[in-house]
Structure 1
Amino acid sequence: MREFAKNLKRVVIKVGSSSITHENGDINLRKIFDLCWQLSDAKNHGYEVVLVSSGAIAAGSKRLNLKDRPNTTALKQAASAVGQVALMNTYNRILGEFSYHGAQILLTKHIETDELMLTNAKNAFKELFNLNVIPIINENDTISTFEIKFGDNDTLSAIVSRIIDADLLVLLSDIDGLYTCDPRENSDAELIKNVDTITEEIKSCAQGTNSKVGTGGMVTKISAANLCMEKGIDVVLANGKDMKIIKDILEGKEIGTYFRSKKND
Protein backbone atom coordinates (compact mmCIF):
# COMPACT_ATOMS: atom_id res chain seq x y z
CA MET A 1 0.00 0.00 0.00
CA ARG A 2 1.33 3.43 -0.90
CA GLU A 3 2.07 5.78 2.00
CA PHE A 4 -0.51 8.46 1.22
CA ALA A 5 -3.45 6.06 1.71
CA LYS A 6 -2.86 5.88 5.47
CA ASN A 7 -3.89 9.46 6.23
CA LEU A 8 -5.63 10.53 3.04
CA LYS A 9 -8.25 13.24 3.47
CA ARG A 10 -8.32 15.77 0.63
CA VAL A 11 -8.00 14.70 -3.01
CA VAL A 12 -7.92 16.50 -6.37
CA ILE A 13 -8.85 14.39 -9.38
CA LYS A 14 -8.08 15.67 -12.86
CA VAL A 15 -9.65 14.14 -15.96
CA GLY A 16 -8.51 15.01 -19.45
CA SER A 17 -10.75 15.59 -22.45
CA SER A 18 -9.92 12.18 -23.89
CA SER A 19 -11.15 10.52 -20.67
CA ILE A 20 -14.69 11.95 -20.79
CA THR A 21 -15.43 12.47 -24.48
CA HIS A 22 -15.78 10.19 -27.46
CA GLU A 23 -13.27 10.62 -30.27
CA ASN A 24 -15.82 12.66 -32.22
CA GLY A 25 -15.97 15.20 -29.37
CA ASP A 26 -19.35 14.17 -27.93
CA ILE A 27 -19.57 13.87 -24.15
CA ASN A 28 -19.17 10.25 -23.09
CA LEU A 29 -22.14 9.90 -20.74
CA ARG A 30 -21.14 6.46 -19.50
CA LYS A 31 -17.68 7.65 -18.52
CA ILE A 32 -19.06 10.72 -16.74
CA PHE A 33 -21.62 8.56 -14.92
CA ASP A 34 -18.82 6.23 -13.77
CA LEU A 35 -16.71 9.22 -12.74
CA CYS A 36 -19.54 10.76 -10.72
CA TRP A 37 -20.19 7.40 -9.07
CA GLN A 38 -16.55 7.23 -7.98
CA LEU A 39 -16.51 10.83 -6.74
CA SER A 40 -19.69 10.25 -4.75
CA ASP A 41 -18.40 7.00 -3.30
CA ALA A 42 -15.20 8.78 -2.27
CA LYS A 43 -17.32 11.43 -0.54
CA ASN A 44 -19.28 8.69 1.22
CA HIS A 45 -15.95 7.31 2.42
CA GLY A 46 -15.19 10.68 4.04
CA TYR A 47 -12.77 12.17 1.53
CA GLU A 48 -12.96 15.83 0.50
CA VAL A 49 -12.94 15.71 -3.29
CA VAL A 50 -12.26 18.30 -5.99
CA LEU A 51 -12.64 17.55 -9.69
CA VAL A 52 -10.62 19.39 -12.35
CA SER A 53 -12.37 18.63 -15.62
CA SER A 54 -11.29 19.28 -19.16
CA GLY A 55 -13.66 18.80 -22.07
CA ALA A 56 -15.45 22.16 -22.39
CA ILE A 57 -13.85 23.17 -25.69
CA ALA A 58 -14.26 19.67 -27.14
CA ALA A 59 -17.91 19.48 -26.09
CA GLY A 60 -18.63 23.01 -27.32
CA SER A 61 -16.95 22.35 -30.66
CA LYS A 62 -19.26 19.41 -31.23
CA ARG A 63 -22.36 21.38 -30.32
CA LEU A 64 -21.32 24.19 -32.65
CA ASN A 65 -20.77 21.65 -35.44
CA LEU A 66 -17.11 22.55 -35.81
CA LYS A 67 -15.29 19.91 -37.85
CA ASP A 68 -11.91 20.49 -36.17
CA ARG A 69 -10.72 21.74 -32.80
CA PRO A 70 -10.75 25.58 -32.84
CA ASN A 71 -7.38 27.12 -33.72
CA THR A 72 -8.09 30.75 -32.79
CA THR A 73 -8.42 32.16 -29.28
CA ALA A 74 -11.84 33.70 -29.93
CA LEU A 75 -13.29 30.48 -31.33
CA LYS A 76 -11.83 28.46 -28.45
CA GLN A 77 -13.43 30.88 -26.00
CA ALA A 78 -16.80 30.62 -27.75
CA ALA A 79 -16.65 26.84 -27.85
CA SER A 80 -15.66 26.72 -24.19
CA ALA A 81 -18.59 28.93 -23.18
CA VAL A 82 -21.03 26.57 -24.89
CA GLY A 83 -19.33 23.38 -23.77
CA GLN A 84 -18.93 24.41 -20.13
CA VAL A 85 -22.72 24.67 -19.76
CA ALA A 86 -23.18 21.21 -21.25
CA LEU A 87 -20.53 19.69 -19.00
CA MET A 88 -21.85 21.21 -15.77
CA ASN A 89 -25.44 20.25 -16.59
CA THR A 90 -24.29 16.69 -17.13
CA TYR A 91 -22.19 16.55 -13.97
CA ASN A 92 -24.92 18.04 -11.79
CA ARG A 93 -27.64 15.81 -13.20
CA ILE A 94 -25.63 12.65 -12.51
CA LEU A 95 -24.23 13.74 -9.14
CA GLY A 96 -27.79 14.46 -8.09
CA GLU A 97 -28.59 10.78 -8.47
CA PHE A 98 -26.10 10.14 -5.68
CA SER A 99 -27.42 13.03 -3.54
CA TYR A 100 -24.49 15.37 -4.18
CA HIS A 101 -24.18 18.79 -5.78
CA GLY A 102 -21.41 20.11 -7.99
CA ALA A 103 -20.15 23.69 -7.81
CA GLN A 104 -18.56 25.32 -10.84
CA ILE A 105 -15.36 27.29 -10.25
CA LEU A 106 -13.56 28.86 -13.23
CA LEU A 107 -10.05 30.13 -12.58
CA THR A 108 -7.43 32.21 -14.38
CA LYS A 109 -3.72 32.28 -13.68
CA HIS A 110 -4.16 35.49 -11.67
CA ILE A 111 -5.13 33.18 -8.79
CA GLU A 112 -1.42 32.49 -8.26
CA THR A 113 -0.38 36.11 -7.76
CA ASP A 114 -3.44 38.06 -6.62
CA GLU A 115 -3.63 37.76 -2.82
CA LEU A 116 -7.29 38.82 -2.61
CA MET A 117 -8.35 36.35 -5.30
CA LEU A 118 -6.33 33.63 -3.59
CA THR A 119 -7.91 34.33 -0.21
CA ASN A 120 -11.40 34.39 -1.71
CA ALA A 121 -10.75 31.10 -3.50
CA LYS A 122 -9.51 29.42 -0.32
CA ASN A 123 -12.57 30.67 1.59
CA ALA A 124 -14.91 29.43 -1.14
CA PHE A 125 -13.31 25.98 -1.17
CA LYS A 126 -13.52 25.81 2.63
CA GLU A 127 -17.24 26.56 2.64
CA LEU A 128 -17.95 24.15 -0.19
CA PHE A 129 -16.21 21.39 1.76
CA ASN A 130 -18.29 22.33 4.83
CA LEU A 131 -21.44 22.13 2.70
CA ASN A 132 -20.44 18.68 1.39
CA VAL A 133 -20.36 19.95 -2.21
CA ILE A 134 -18.01 18.71 -4.94
CA PRO A 135 -16.15 21.66 -6.55
CA ILE A 136 -15.70 21.20 -10.30
CA ILE A 137 -12.85 23.29 -11.69
CA ASN A 138 -11.88 24.42 -15.16
CA GLU A 139 -9.90 27.28 -16.61
CA ASN A 140 -11.94 30.37 -17.41
CA ASP A 141 -11.22 30.04 -21.14
CA THR A 142 -13.85 32.60 -22.08
CA ILE A 143 -12.02 35.53 -20.49
CA SER A 144 -8.44 34.21 -20.40
CA THR A 145 -5.85 35.56 -22.81
CA PHE A 146 -2.56 33.99 -23.85
CA GLU A 147 -0.65 35.83 -21.14
CA ILE A 148 -2.84 34.62 -18.26
CA LYS A 149 -3.75 31.10 -19.40
CA PHE A 150 -2.58 28.05 -17.52
CA GLY A 151 -2.31 26.41 -20.93
CA ASP A 152 -3.42 23.00 -19.72
CA ASN A 153 -5.47 21.48 -16.92
CA ASP A 154 -2.54 19.46 -15.59
CA THR A 155 -0.97 22.70 -14.38
CA LEU A 156 -4.35 23.98 -13.21
CA SER A 157 -4.93 20.85 -11.14
CA ALA A 158 -1.53 21.27 -9.49
CA ILE A 159 -2.28 24.90 -8.61
CA VAL A 160 -5.67 23.90 -7.18
CA SER A 161 -3.99 21.16 -5.15
CA ARG A 162 -1.60 23.74 -3.71
CA ILE A 163 -4.41 26.22 -2.97
CA ILE A 164 -6.46 23.73 -0.95
CA ASP A 165 -3.51 21.91 0.65
CA ALA A 166 -4.50 18.61 -0.92
CA ASP A 167 -2.94 15.34 0.17
CA LEU A 168 -3.08 13.78 -3.27
CA LEU A 169 -3.49 14.76 -6.92
CA VAL A 170 -4.73 12.05 -9.28
CA LEU A 171 -4.02 12.73 -12.95
CA LEU A 172 -6.18 10.54 -15.19
CA SER A 173 -5.05 10.38 -18.79
CA ASP A 174 -5.15 8.03 -21.78
CA ILE A 175 -1.89 6.31 -20.81
CA ASP A 176 -1.08 3.97 -17.90
CA GLY A 177 1.60 6.21 -16.41
CA LEU A 178 5.06 7.54 -17.11
CA TYR A 179 7.12 5.26 -19.34
CA THR A 180 10.80 5.25 -20.17
CA CYS A 181 9.68 6.27 -23.69
CA ASP A 182 6.41 6.48 -25.61
CA PRO A 183 4.83 2.97 -25.43
CA ARG A 184 2.70 3.72 -28.48
CA GLU A 185 5.84 4.05 -30.55
CA ASN A 186 8.29 1.74 -28.77
CA SER A 187 7.40 -1.77 -27.62
CA ASP A 188 10.42 -1.76 -25.27
CA ALA A 189 8.96 1.06 -23.16
CA GLU A 190 8.75 0.27 -19.45
CA LEU A 191 6.35 1.74 -16.91
CA ILE A 192 8.06 3.77 -14.19
CA LYS A 193 6.13 2.87 -11.02
CA ASN A 194 7.73 5.28 -8.55
CA VAL A 195 9.37 8.70 -8.86
CA ASP A 196 10.98 10.33 -5.82
CA THR A 197 12.69 13.21 -7.61
CA ILE A 198 12.02 14.95 -10.93
CA THR A 199 15.43 14.55 -12.56
CA GLU A 200 16.57 15.39 -16.07
CA GLU A 201 16.33 11.70 -16.86
CA ILE A 202 12.67 11.68 -15.81
CA LYS A 203 11.98 14.77 -17.89
CA SER A 204 13.58 13.13 -20.91
CA CYS A 205 10.99 10.34 -20.72
CA ALA A 206 8.20 12.81 -21.48
CA GLN A 207 6.49 12.73 -24.84
CA GLY A 208 3.74 14.85 -26.39
CA THR A 209 0.16 13.63 -26.58
CA ASN A 210 -1.39 12.09 -29.66
CA SER A 211 -4.93 12.82 -28.54
CA LYS A 212 -7.14 14.78 -30.92
CA VAL A 213 -9.16 16.40 -28.13
CA GLY A 214 -6.58 17.16 -25.42
CA THR A 215 -4.00 19.90 -25.02
CA GLY A 216 -1.59 18.52 -22.43
CA GLY A 217 1.15 15.94 -22.80
CA MET A 218 3.53 14.06 -20.54
CA VAL A 219 5.71 17.16 -20.16
CA THR A 220 2.85 19.06 -18.48
CA LYS A 221 2.08 16.11 -16.22
CA ILE A 222 5.66 15.93 -14.99
CA SER A 223 5.63 19.69 -14.45
CA ALA A 224 2.37 19.41 -12.48
CA ALA A 225 3.83 16.61 -10.39
CA ASN A 226 6.86 18.75 -9.61
CA LEU A 227 4.66 21.66 -8.50
CA CYS A 228 2.86 19.35 -6.09
CA MET A 229 5.86 17.42 -4.80
CA GLU A 230 7.64 20.60 -3.72
CA LYS A 231 4.61 21.38 -1.52
CA GLY A 232 4.38 17.93 0.02
CA ILE A 233 1.52 16.74 -2.21
CA ASP A 234 1.68 13.24 -3.66
CA VAL A 235 0.67 12.57 -7.26
CA VAL A 236 -0.52 9.47 -9.10
CA LEU A 237 -0.64 9.39 -12.90
CA ALA A 238 -2.85 6.63 -14.27
CA ASN A 239 -5.15 5.62 -17.11
CA GLY A 240 -8.72 6.93 -16.91
CA LYS A 241 -10.13 4.33 -19.29
CA ASP A 242 -11.99 2.71 -16.39
CA MET A 243 -13.04 5.18 -13.68
CA LYS A 244 -13.11 2.38 -11.11
CA ILE A 245 -9.37 2.93 -10.96
CA ILE A 246 -10.04 5.94 -8.69
CA LYS A 247 -11.11 3.68 -5.81
CA ASP A 248 -8.01 1.52 -6.22
CA ILE A 249 -5.74 4.56 -6.27
CA LEU A 250 -7.28 6.05 -3.12
CA GLU A 251 -6.81 2.70 -1.38
CA GLY A 252 -3.09 2.92 -2.14
CA LYS A 253 -2.85 0.11 -4.67
CA GLU A 254 0.22 0.22 -6.89
CA ILE A 255 -1.34 1.56 -10.04
CA GLY A 256 0.21 3.92 -12.57
CA THR A 257 3.16 6.13 -11.65
CA TYR A 258 3.47 7.39 -8.08
CA PHE A 259 5.27 10.72 -7.64
CA ARG A 260 6.24 10.58 -3.99
CA SER A 261 6.60 13.88 -2.18
CA LYS A 262 9.22 14.65 0.48
CA LYS A 263 6.62 14.57 3.25
CA ASN A 264 6.91 10.79 3.20
CA ASP A 265 10.62 10.83 4.13
Structure 2
Amino acid sequence: STTGAVTLAGTLATTNGGTGLTSFTANGAVYATSTSALTTGTLPVGAGGTGQTTTTGAFNALSPITSTGDLIIGNGVNSATRLGIGTNGYILTSNGTTATWAAAPASMIYPGAGIAVSTGSAWSTSLTAPSGAIVGTSDTQTLTNKRINPRVSSTTTAASVTPDISSYDQYCFTAQASNITFNAPTGTPVDGNKLLFRVKGTSSTWTITWNAAYQANNIALPTSLVIGTTNYYGFIYNADTSKWDLVAVA
Protein backbone atom coordinates (compact mmCIF):
# COMPACT_ATOMS: atom_id res chain seq x y z
CA SER A 1 0.00 0.00 0.00
CA THR A 2 1.01 3.58 -0.53
CA THR A 3 0.52 6.35 1.99
CA GLY A 4 1.04 10.07 1.74
CA ALA A 5 1.06 12.17 -1.37
CA VAL A 6 1.53 10.52 -4.72
CA THR A 7 3.21 12.55 -7.42
CA LEU A 8 2.99 11.54 -11.06
CA ALA A 9 5.19 12.83 -13.78
CA GLY A 10 3.00 13.29 -16.85
CA THR A 11 -0.44 11.64 -17.05
CA LEU A 12 -1.82 8.31 -15.97
CA ALA A 13 -3.40 6.52 -18.88
CA THR A 14 -6.93 5.13 -18.61
CA THR A 15 -5.50 1.63 -19.20
CA ASN A 16 -3.61 2.03 -15.96
CA GLY A 17 -6.66 3.24 -14.05
CA GLY A 18 -6.13 6.93 -14.77
CA THR A 19 -8.04 9.53 -16.77
CA GLY A 20 -5.47 10.66 -19.22
CA LEU A 21 -5.77 14.21 -17.80
CA THR A 22 -3.08 16.41 -16.40
CA SER A 23 -5.49 17.97 -13.89
CA PHE A 24 -8.59 16.71 -12.10
CA THR A 25 -10.08 20.16 -11.59
CA ALA A 26 -10.51 23.42 -13.48
CA ASN A 27 -12.09 26.44 -11.85
CA GLY A 28 -13.14 24.19 -8.96
CA ALA A 29 -15.01 21.67 -11.14
CA VAL A 30 -13.96 18.03 -11.64
CA TYR A 31 -13.54 16.76 -15.17
CA ALA A 32 -15.74 13.76 -15.84
CA THR A 33 -14.06 12.74 -19.09
CA SER A 34 -10.97 13.49 -21.03
CA THR A 35 -13.07 16.07 -22.96
CA SER A 36 -13.98 19.10 -20.88
CA ALA A 37 -17.66 19.10 -19.84
CA LEU A 38 -17.40 22.69 -18.60
CA THR A 39 -18.86 25.43 -20.79
CA THR A 40 -17.02 28.69 -20.83
CA GLY A 41 -19.15 30.39 -23.56
CA THR A 42 -22.99 30.54 -23.79
CA LEU A 43 -25.39 27.74 -23.00
CA PRO A 44 -28.15 27.27 -25.58
CA VAL A 45 -31.83 27.21 -24.63
CA GLY A 46 -31.98 23.52 -25.49
CA ALA A 47 -29.40 22.82 -22.80
CA GLY A 48 -31.21 24.89 -20.18
CA GLY A 49 -29.55 28.21 -20.97
CA THR A 50 -30.51 31.33 -22.87
CA GLY A 51 -27.95 31.49 -25.63
CA GLN A 52 -27.20 35.06 -24.52
CA THR A 53 -24.39 36.77 -22.64
CA THR A 54 -26.35 39.63 -20.96
CA THR A 55 -29.34 39.71 -18.61
CA THR A 56 -31.35 41.83 -21.06
CA GLY A 57 -30.55 39.50 -23.91
CA ALA A 58 -31.41 36.48 -21.77
CA PHE A 59 -34.78 37.96 -20.77
CA ASN A 60 -35.65 38.85 -24.34
CA ALA A 61 -34.62 35.41 -25.58
CA LEU A 62 -36.94 33.61 -23.16
CA SER A 63 -39.80 36.15 -23.25
CA PRO A 64 -42.94 35.39 -25.32
CA ILE A 65 -43.29 39.11 -26.12
CA THR A 66 -43.27 39.87 -29.83
CA SER A 67 -44.67 43.41 -30.16
CA THR A 68 -44.56 46.74 -28.37
CA GLY A 69 -47.17 46.84 -25.63
CA ASP A 70 -47.39 43.07 -25.15
CA LEU A 71 -47.94 41.79 -21.61
CA ILE A 72 -46.88 38.54 -19.96
CA ILE A 73 -49.67 36.96 -17.92
CA GLY A 74 -50.10 33.71 -16.07
CA ASN A 75 -51.69 30.86 -18.02
CA GLY A 76 -51.95 28.02 -15.55
CA VAL A 77 -49.58 26.66 -12.92
CA ASN A 78 -46.00 27.82 -13.54
CA SER A 79 -46.95 28.89 -17.05
CA ALA A 80 -46.80 32.24 -18.80
CA THR A 81 -48.30 33.47 -22.04
CA ARG A 82 -48.35 36.60 -24.16
CA LEU A 83 -51.27 39.04 -24.09
CA GLY A 84 -51.01 41.26 -27.14
CA ILE A 85 -51.60 44.99 -26.99
CA GLY A 86 -55.30 45.86 -26.98
CA THR A 87 -57.28 48.03 -29.37
CA ASN A 88 -56.78 51.77 -29.00
CA GLY A 89 -58.85 52.99 -26.05
CA TYR A 90 -59.44 49.52 -24.59
CA ILE A 91 -58.83 48.83 -20.90
CA LEU A 92 -57.31 45.82 -19.16
CA THR A 93 -59.98 43.86 -17.34
CA SER A 94 -60.86 40.36 -16.16
CA ASN A 95 -63.46 37.99 -17.54
CA GLY A 96 -63.29 35.89 -14.38
CA THR A 97 -60.80 33.46 -15.89
CA THR A 98 -57.96 35.52 -17.27
CA ALA A 99 -56.87 39.05 -18.03
CA THR A 100 -58.24 40.49 -21.25
CA TRP A 101 -58.69 43.73 -23.15
CA ALA A 102 -62.18 45.23 -23.46
CA ALA A 103 -63.87 48.45 -24.50
CA ALA A 104 -64.26 50.89 -21.62
CA PRO A 105 -67.86 51.01 -20.32
CA ALA A 106 -69.77 54.27 -20.60
CA SER A 107 -69.44 54.77 -16.84
CA MET A 108 -65.68 55.19 -17.28
CA ILE A 109 -65.69 57.54 -20.27
CA TYR A 110 -65.24 61.17 -19.21
CA PRO A 111 -67.44 63.52 -21.26
CA GLY A 112 -65.06 66.45 -21.55
CA ALA A 113 -64.06 69.68 -19.85
CA GLY A 114 -65.79 70.71 -16.66
CA ILE A 115 -67.22 68.75 -13.75
CA ALA A 116 -68.40 65.27 -14.72
CA VAL A 117 -71.82 64.25 -13.41
CA SER A 118 -72.31 60.52 -12.88
CA THR A 119 -75.74 59.02 -13.46
CA GLY A 120 -74.67 55.68 -11.98
CA SER A 121 -74.18 53.91 -15.30
CA ALA A 122 -72.66 56.66 -17.42
CA TRP A 123 -71.37 60.22 -17.36
CA SER A 124 -73.82 62.92 -18.36
CA THR A 125 -72.83 66.22 -19.92
CA SER A 126 -70.22 67.84 -17.74
CA LEU A 127 -70.89 70.94 -15.67
CA THR A 128 -68.73 73.97 -16.35
CA ALA A 129 -66.64 74.62 -13.27
CA PRO A 130 -67.09 78.16 -11.92
CA SER A 131 -64.30 80.19 -10.42
CA GLY A 132 -64.01 80.01 -6.65
CA ALA A 133 -65.52 77.29 -4.48
CA ILE A 134 -67.74 74.72 -6.14
CA VAL A 135 -71.24 74.64 -4.69
CA GLY A 136 -73.05 71.32 -4.39
CA THR A 137 -76.10 70.79 -6.57
CA SER A 138 -78.35 69.35 -3.84
CA ASP A 139 -76.70 69.49 -0.43
CA THR A 140 -77.08 72.44 1.94
CA GLN A 141 -74.17 74.86 1.90
CA THR A 142 -73.43 78.35 3.17
CA LEU A 143 -72.46 80.80 0.46
CA THR A 144 -69.79 83.33 1.32
CA ASN A 145 -69.17 86.32 -0.94
CA LYS A 146 -71.57 84.88 -3.50
CA ARG A 147 -74.40 86.66 -5.29
CA ILE A 148 -77.54 84.88 -6.43
CA ASN A 149 -78.81 86.61 -9.56
CA PRO A 150 -82.57 86.41 -10.19
CA ARG A 151 -83.75 84.59 -13.26
CA VAL A 152 -85.62 87.20 -15.28
CA SER A 153 -88.05 86.84 -18.17
CA SER A 154 -88.61 90.08 -20.07
CA THR A 155 -91.10 90.84 -22.83
CA THR A 156 -92.84 93.92 -24.18
CA THR A 157 -96.48 93.07 -23.56
CA ALA A 158 -98.72 90.04 -22.99
CA ALA A 159 -102.42 89.45 -22.52
CA SER A 160 -101.81 86.40 -20.36
CA VAL A 161 -98.82 85.02 -18.48
CA THR A 162 -98.26 81.64 -16.81
CA PRO A 163 -95.14 81.95 -14.64
CA ASP A 164 -92.77 78.98 -14.65
CA ILE A 165 -91.04 79.14 -11.26
CA SER A 166 -88.61 76.38 -12.27
CA SER A 167 -87.17 78.78 -14.86
CA TYR A 168 -87.78 82.35 -13.67
CA ASP A 169 -88.11 84.37 -10.45
CA GLN A 170 -89.16 87.63 -12.08
CA TYR A 171 -91.37 88.56 -15.04
CA CYS A 172 -91.04 91.96 -16.69
CA PHE A 173 -93.36 93.65 -19.19
CA THR A 174 -91.66 96.75 -20.53
CA ALA A 175 -94.64 98.36 -22.34
CA GLN A 176 -97.90 96.65 -21.44
CA ALA A 177 -100.43 97.45 -24.17
CA SER A 178 -103.48 95.42 -23.10
CA ASN A 179 -105.33 93.98 -20.14
CA ILE A 180 -103.31 91.23 -18.48
CA THR A 181 -104.17 87.98 -16.70
CA PHE A 182 -101.75 86.32 -14.27
CA ASN A 183 -102.36 82.55 -14.37
CA ALA A 184 -101.31 80.07 -11.66
CA PRO A 185 -97.57 79.42 -11.73
CA THR A 186 -96.28 76.07 -12.93
CA GLY A 187 -93.56 74.12 -11.18
CA THR A 188 -93.22 72.84 -7.61
CA PRO A 189 -92.84 75.75 -5.19
CA VAL A 190 -91.45 75.43 -1.69
CA ASP A 191 -92.23 77.55 1.33
CA GLY A 192 -90.65 80.98 0.92
CA ASN A 193 -90.20 80.98 -2.86
CA LYS A 194 -90.40 84.51 -4.25
CA LEU A 195 -92.08 85.73 -7.42
CA LEU A 196 -91.98 89.30 -8.71
CA PHE A 197 -93.91 90.97 -11.53
CA ARG A 198 -92.77 94.29 -13.00
CA VAL A 199 -95.24 95.86 -15.42
CA LYS A 200 -94.90 99.26 -17.07
CA GLY A 201 -98.28 100.71 -18.04
CA THR A 202 -98.82 102.71 -21.23
CA SER A 203 -101.26 105.50 -21.98
CA SER A 204 -104.39 103.55 -21.06
CA THR A 205 -105.57 102.04 -17.79
CA TRP A 206 -105.32 98.29 -18.28
CA THR A 207 -107.12 95.85 -16.00
CA ILE A 208 -105.42 93.03 -14.10
CA THR A 209 -106.96 89.61 -13.44
CA TRP A 210 -105.42 87.27 -10.83
CA ASN A 211 -105.76 83.50 -10.62
CA ALA A 212 -106.94 82.06 -7.29
CA ALA A 213 -103.35 80.88 -6.70
CA TYR A 214 -102.59 84.49 -5.67
CA GLN A 215 -104.06 85.93 -2.49
CA ALA A 216 -104.11 89.27 -0.76
CA ASN A 217 -102.12 89.47 2.47
CA ASN A 218 -103.00 92.76 4.20
CA ILE A 219 -102.60 94.26 0.74
CA ALA A 220 -105.38 94.09 -1.84
CA LEU A 221 -104.60 92.55 -5.19
CA PRO A 222 -104.35 95.40 -7.72
CA THR A 223 -107.02 95.38 -10.41
CA SER A 224 -105.53 97.90 -12.82
CA LEU A 225 -102.23 99.37 -13.92
CA VAL A 226 -101.26 102.90 -13.09
CA ILE A 227 -100.94 104.83 -16.33
CA GLY A 228 -97.40 105.60 -17.44
CA THR A 229 -95.67 104.11 -14.39
CA THR A 230 -93.72 100.97 -13.59
CA ASN A 231 -95.71 98.73 -11.25
CA TYR A 232 -94.20 96.08 -8.96
CA TYR A 233 -96.10 93.13 -7.43
CA GLY A 234 -94.16 90.92 -5.06
CA PHE A 235 -95.32 87.48 -3.88
CA ILE A 236 -93.99 84.86 -1.44
CA TYR A 237 -95.21 81.26 -1.52
CA ASN A 238 -97.10 80.18 1.61
CA ALA A 239 -96.88 76.40 2.04
CA ASP A 240 -99.57 76.50 4.79
CA THR A 241 -102.21 77.70 2.34
CA SER A 242 -100.56 76.60 -0.94
CA LYS A 243 -101.02 80.17 -2.14
CA TRP A 244 -98.81 83.00 -3.31
CA ASP A 245 -99.17 85.81 -0.76
CA LEU A 246 -98.97 89.38 -2.02
CA VAL A 247 -96.41 91.10 0.22
CA ALA A 248 -95.52 94.25 -1.71
CA VAL A 249 -97.02 96.66 -4.24
CA ALA A 250 -95.15 99.63 -5.58
TM band (smaller chain): under 0.3
TM-score, reference length from structure 2: 0.19
TM-score, reference length from structure 1: 0.18
More helix by share: 1
Q: Which has the higher contact order (CA 8 A, sep 6+)?
A: 1
